[in-house]
Structure 1
């Protein structure tokens, strides 16, 4: 499929993991891609891999100047901007809630929630012109209690923000949607592979997600196949939100009968 031929996407934190999978998916479907990240070497490697369809721009989403420059670079190089994928973020606060400082809260929210809003604000004039859309990568942490209070609050905030943007700008033809991943096998887990393996038991589908699972969902929501979908949060999480996956932690397993 060439659903993005003639279209341009900007992907934050696009140099590895979920972001890189999204970049590759857009390019494979004919799109041009602006890869933004803090890791200049990885940006360059991926941009070289993609070829003329991609440029890389070092961008810190906590800097309005950086975000504005990335959007400007996209329009200067490709002449338009059709899609923004807000992927930048991360769990940067690990203390228990009662020990979290105001500074911890500010750092987490600035990166994950305010950073996404900066990107939307910078891109909006171009998205209105192209009748484009935004897909924000939130998390199941924004939908249920999985710990990491500050991170979860920021992710829930992304969902609320998306609902409001979708309502306000729908009349101008701009769509806003969210993908909420479960546990995904990204480089962040490279030093915790044993934990990642144990997490499989929480998922009814019996595996951890891959970056390509999220990229497929993003590509759908960003494409014309989803032209009548806005303000939606799509969980892509192997069934962990259904709850029954917890029975897999029982010593006897989920079934008495073998199938």
Structure 2
């Protein structure tokens, strides 16, 4: 069987980069999509010829379509896409929140995910492919006024709807929903919380499950 191919958004650091490393270690080819061309280049240097840097903006549908087309042209097809790009907010709550920051966040956390799915779906249909979406513990509980949390509630609802849609061609959709992860998302290191590698291993667990097994959601929380 030919090597499988995975497209990852937000691939230059954190969960995206860790998933790329885990996937390549398991024999996958990866397309690395993010805005930071330098970081992507360094990651490709680390991972070797199974990785392809695809600089682009997750909030631009054409950018994602072009990137996936380049990846498919190199590898011959697409087996999975990980809509992982996301951002948080500097001010929490609705009353104290910044409307301009909300618009930017919705562009990444909601529209960016929709664009990944829209760009990837025609290719995934050819291979009964798999979609991964980065959810969050914040999309499973109510946090006072959290607009960020509401963006993740969208992901959890949308992922369930995608699972139903993708049944028509044997495809699968998994929401990987972590609690606090020690990434650049936070200003201070969180060494006692989840590490990006924990989330990456969960993503590959879902991707490599038997085709009869649809892992609809993996919910990860720090022990402490």
Q: 1:84–1:148: structure 2 CA closer, same or farther, 3 Å change rule? A: farther
Runs of 4+ in 1 over 4 A off after TM superposition: none
Q: Kindly indicate whether the alpha-carbon contact (under 8 Å) linking 2:93 and 2:144 is maintained by their aligned counterparts in 1.
A: no
Q: Kindly indicate whether the alpha-carbon contact (under 8 Å) linking 2:88 and 2:185 is maintained by their aligned counterparts in 1.
A: no
Question: CA-to-partner distance for each residue in 1:90-142, whole Å, 9 max, x for gaps?
Answer: 10352431143544332221110111111011110110101110111111000
Q: Which residue of 2 aligns with 1:223?
A: 208
Q: 1:56 aligns with which of 53, 57, 72?
A: 53
d(CA) in 1 for partners of 2:59, 2:126 = 25
Q: Which residue of 2 aligns with 1:208?
A: 193
Q: Which residue of 2 aligns with 1:158?
A: 155
Structure 2 residue 74 is matched with structure 1 residue 71:
no
Larger radius of gyration: 1
Q: CA RMSD in A?
A: 1.9
Structure 2 residue 220 is matched with structure 1 residue 236:
yes
d(CA) in 2 for partners of 1:107, 1:83 = 26
d(CA) in 2 for partners of 1:229, 1:7 = 18
For structure 2, the 5+ residue unaligned runs are none
Question: Which structure dedicates a bigger proportion of its chain to helix?
Answer: 1
Q: 1:214–1:157: structure 2 CA closer, same or farther, 3 Å change rule? A: same
User: What is the count of residue pairs matched by the alignment?
Assistant: 224
TM-score if structure 1 supplies the norm length?
A: 0.81
Q: Which residue of 1 aligns with 2:106?
A: 109
For structure 1, the 5+ residue unaligned runs are 198-206, 240-244, 246-259
